[in-house]
């Protein structure tokens, strides 16, 4: 759908005889974004303010790189250096984004990859503005490297096999976003989904605030209890989904990209009521780093925060969450999910704290007795 739409655009551009060119002063672009009136993705006229070099996809928010590969050289790293060197990027190059500037000053991407790279940059800029509005300055994350169209491969057998397709990931050890090639074209590519980009940007924010900017998380190097590691990873996923849903005003922001979510076993709609019950608690306690699925408890976190909006507004909840993320920095292996929620409650206006306590106690059923407001 995207390809054919763009092909149509290019044909129109050629027929109109519009010149190709690169102008770093251009600020208005056609990018793929969600139309707030319909919640559908389409090519929309949008601003990008921070691109210093349009052709190379470089600006204060992100520096795009194209092609190459991210190879997992060590599947079982132990030391900090082994972790830092476990994934090696090679063969990447400077992109060559081509646009056609129309008479009205709007730059239209010339080809599919140009459209997707501009879309990606736009969404990252929007993500940085979103967090800036919550008090997390763009300087906190800084200029992210983004590897576009880069397969992630592993050194197994003779040929490296693509490990991930149709994904988008923040990988802390190389401090970069990796966007593997898109294979399925039925839906909006994950990296063109603004909610997904906010989710990934949130991981970079979590890395800076909670992991204290350490590229290799401490839990990978020390032998913490499964419970602590698993709750921490779920918290990272949960706040990322919450921020994404708030940023695009869509509790089921993944649906645009994953229409067959049920078949794929993906259940992340943050408007669904979810509980941290005894059965989930048991798996959080027992599963190790490899077996644990952080999204299940992550979705409990996201949906509890999302539900709190019902008693107030999104801004009040998001600022309480950012405040809590700042307060859990450095707590490391003493960090529990309930401590994070204690800080969220304390960050709410006084008249909301009781409602927050009741809601979180209900959702965090198995650990409710550990909440400070319940004890």
Contact residues for Zn ion (CB under 5 A)?
237, 240
* Closest to Zn ion by CB, 110 or 206: 206
* Closest to Zn ion by CB, 19 or 264: 264
- Contact 141/128 with Cβ under 8 angstroms? yes
* Closest to Zn ion by CB, 16 or 165: 165
Cα(265)–Cα(325) distance, rounded to whole angstroms? 29
Closest distance of CB 18 from Zn ion, Å: 40
* Closest to Zn ion by CB, 33 or 237: 237
* Closest to Zn ion by CB, 188 or 244: 244
* Closest to Zn ion by CB, 220 or 240: 240
* Closest to Zn ion by CB, 92 or 236: 236
Burial 155-180 (b: 16+ CB within 10 A, else e): eeeeeeeeeeebebbbbbbbbbbbbb
Query: CB neighbours of 90 closer than 8 A, spacing ≥ 6?
Result: 68, 69, 71
HSE-CB of 294 using CA atoms within 13 angstroms: 20
Closest distance of CB 248 from Zn ion, Å: 15
* Closest to Zn ion by CB, 99 or 284: 284
Record the tokens describing residue 49, joined without a space. Answer: 């303010």
> Which residues does residue 71 pair with via DSSP β-bridges, in sequence order?
88, 153
Q: Any alpha helices (H) in 186-313, and if so which ranges?
A: 194-209, 218-221, 226-248, 261-264, 278-286, 294-308
Closest distance of CB 146 from Zn ion, Å: 16
Closest distance of CB 203 from Zn ion, Å: 6
Closest distance of CB 241 from Zn ion, Å: 8
Closest distance of CB 154 from Zn ion, Å: 20
Element at 101 (helix H, strand E): strand 99-101
Helices 194-209 and 226-248, packing angle to 10 deg:
140
Cα(134)–Cα(318) distance, rounded to whole angstroms? 7
Cα separation values, 122 from 85, 109, 193, 226, 241, Å:
30, 13, 11, 38, 19
Nearest to 325 by CA among 295, 290, 301, 358: 301
Closest distance of CB 207 from Zn ion, Å: 12
User: Other C-beta atoms within 10 Å of 213: how many?
Assistant: 12
Closest distance of CB 161 from Zn ion, Å: 23
């Amino acid at each position: 759908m995207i390809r054919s739409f763009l092909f149509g655009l290019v044909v129109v551009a050629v027929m109109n005889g519009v010149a190709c060119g690169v102008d770093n002063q251009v600020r208005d672009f056609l990018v793929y974004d969600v139309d707030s009136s319909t919640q559908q993705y389409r090519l929309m006229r949008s601003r990008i303010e921070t691109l210093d070099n349009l052709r190379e996809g470089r600006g204060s928010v992100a520096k795009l790189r194209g092609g190459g590969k991210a190879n997992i050289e060590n599947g079982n790293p132990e030391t900090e250096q082994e972790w830092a060197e476990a994934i090696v990027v090679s063969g990447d190059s400077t992109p060559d984004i081509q646009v056609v500037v129309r008479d009205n000053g709007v730059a239209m991407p010339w080809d599919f990859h140009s459209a997707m790279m501009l879309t990606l940059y736009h969404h990252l800029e929007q993500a940085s503005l979103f967090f800036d509005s919550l008090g997390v300055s763009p300087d906190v994350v800084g200029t992210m490297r983004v590897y576009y169209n880069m397969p992630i491969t592993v050194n197994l057998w003779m040929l490296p096999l693509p490990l991930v397709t149709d994904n988008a990931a923040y990988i802390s050890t190389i401090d970069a976003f990796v966007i593997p090639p898109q294979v399925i074209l039925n839906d909006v590519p994950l990296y063109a989904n603004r909610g997904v980009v906010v989710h990934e940007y949130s991981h970079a924010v979590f890395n800076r605030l909670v992991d204290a900017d350490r590229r290799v998380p401490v839990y990978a190097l020390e032998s913490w209890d499964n419970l602590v590691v698993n709750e921490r990873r779920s918290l990272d996923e949960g706040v990322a989904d919450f921020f994404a849903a708030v940023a695009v005003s869509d509790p089921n922001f993944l649906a645009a990209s994953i229409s067959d979510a049920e078949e794929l076993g993906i259940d992340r709609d943050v408007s669904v009521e979810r509980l941290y019950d005894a059965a989930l608690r048991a798996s959080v306690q027992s599963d190790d780093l490899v077996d644990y699925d952080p999204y299940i408890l992550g979705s409990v976190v996201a949906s509890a925060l999302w539900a709190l909006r019902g008693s107030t507004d999104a801004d009040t909840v998001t600022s309480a969450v950012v405040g809590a993320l700042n307060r859990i920095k450095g707590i490391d292996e003493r960090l529990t999910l309930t401590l994070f929620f204690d800080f969220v409650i304390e960050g709410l206006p006084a008249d909301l704290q009781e409602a927050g306590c009741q809601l979180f106690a209900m959702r965090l059923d198995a650990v409710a007795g550990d909440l400070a407001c319940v004890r």
